[in-house]
């Protein structure tokens, strides 16, 4: 399945010296780096952590604090976007582990989430989409953080195992194994999850 879009952001072609300026500690350059990548980082975190979890802005700040602190160690071996994505995944992993310990995702999240009515055909469908998305992330909440990350990178972001291996810093074989067990666990849970019942989705929509 390759439903997701690749969201590696374009390199800062307009500012080839941006990373070098950041490494020299120019606050203006750090500001530019933030403004250039904040939307993509927020989008990646949004996918990783799930919509409506309420802590996206905190995690975004954590990512950029870590980016600013570590930019001096960036040696240019990978693209800046790949490196940023790696930081993003590491921070998300930490947050997921913290969530697992605190079970901080409370049951009332559904009520606080605004349905994305604009992109849906009707309010009913928007609500249905919202519930389905919520059910998917609740199942993902039950996976271990490591399995969840590779599952999301592959199934939602559409990344290949080799690329995922570079992001999570694990061998490709390990990524494939994690992905296999994550898929198995995810769909086994989905098959018995009554929250996925009664949707408006049709087979044609799913199989398209």
Partner 1 sequence: MRHVAPHRLAGSLSARQERHVAGCAQCAASLARVQAARAGLVLAARSEPAELSPAAEARAEASIRWTRIPASPVVRRPFLVGLGLTAAVAAAVIVWNAREPRRAAWASTSPAASAHRPAAPAPRPDRLEALVTLIGGDVQLARGDAPARKLSIDTRLGATDRVTTAGNARAAAQWSEGSGFLLDGDSELFLARLEPRTQRLELSRGQISVRVGPHEPGESLHVITPDHVVSVHGTWFTVASSQHTTTVEVLEGTVEVTDHDGSSSTLLTAPARATFGRGRTAQAPLSGREAARLRAASEMNFLPWTGLDAARAASGSLMVASQPQAELAVDGVFLGATPLQLRRPLGRHYVELTRADFKSLHQWVAVGPEGGELHASMVHAPPQPDPESAPVEIESMVRRRASQIRACYERRLKRDPSLAGTVSLRLRVGDAGQVTRVDVEQSTLPDPLVADCLRHEAAGWSFAQGRNATVVYPFVFRTQ
Q: How far is the CB of 4 from partner 1 (least distance, A)?
A: 4
Nearer to partner 1, 172 or 196 (CB): 196
Q: How far is the CB of 11 from partner 1 (least distance, A)?
A: 20
Q: How far is the CB of 172 from partner 1 (least distance, A)?
A: 20
Q: How far is the CB of 50 from partner 1 (least distance, A)?
A: 8
Nearer to partner 1, 27 or 79 (CB): 27
DSSP SS3 for 141:
helix
Query: Cβ(28)–Cβ(17) under 8 Å?
Result: no
The whole-angstrom separation of Cα 24 and Cα 32 is 14
The whole-angstrom separation of Cα 25 and Cα 77 is 20
Q: How far is the CB of 59 from partner 1 (least distance, A)?
A: 9
Q: How far is the CB of 56 from partner 1 (least distance, A)?
A: 6
Nearer to partner 1, 171 or 187 (CB): 187
- The set of residues, in sequence order, having a beta carbon less than 8 Å from that of 62 and lying 6+ positions away, is 91, 94, 95
Angle at the Cα of 52 (from 50 to 57), degrees rounded to 5? 90
Nearer to partner 1, 30 or 172 (CB): 30
Nearer to partner 1, 104 or 171 (CB): 104
Q: Which of 150, 166, 146 is nearest to 158 (CA)?
A: 150
DSSP 144-196: -HHHHHHHIIIIIT---HHHHHHHHTS-HHHHHHHHHHHHHHHHHHHHT-GGG
Query: Cβ(150)–Cβ(179) under 8 Å?
Result: yes
């Amino acid at each position: 399945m390759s439903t997701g879009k690749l969201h590696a952001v374009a390199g800062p072609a307009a500012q080839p010296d941006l990373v070098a300026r950041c490494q020299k500690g120019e606050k203006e350059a750090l500001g530019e780096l933030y403004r250039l990548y904040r939307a993509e980082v927020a989008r990646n975190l949004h996918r990783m952590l799930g919509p409506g979890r309420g802590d996206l802005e905190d995690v975004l700040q954590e990512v950029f604090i870590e980016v600013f602190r570590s930019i001096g160690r960036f040696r240019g071996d990978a693209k800046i976007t790949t490196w940023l994505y790696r930081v993003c995944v590491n921070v998300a992993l930490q947050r997921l582990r913290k969530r697992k310990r605190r079970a901080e995702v409370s049951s009332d999240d559904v009520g606080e989430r605004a349905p994305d009515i604009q992109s849906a055909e009707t309010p009913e469908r928007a609500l249905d989409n919202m519930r389905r998305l919520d059910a998917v992330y609740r199942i993902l909440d039950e996976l271990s953080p490591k399995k969840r990350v590779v599952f999301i990178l592959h199934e939602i972001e559409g990344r290949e195992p080799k690329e995922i291996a570079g992001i999570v810093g694990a061998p490709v074989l390990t990524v494939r194994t994690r992905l296999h067990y994550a898929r198995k666990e995810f769909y086994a849970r989905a098959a018995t999850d009554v929250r996925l019942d009664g949707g408006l989705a049709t087979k044609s929509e799913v199989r398209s």
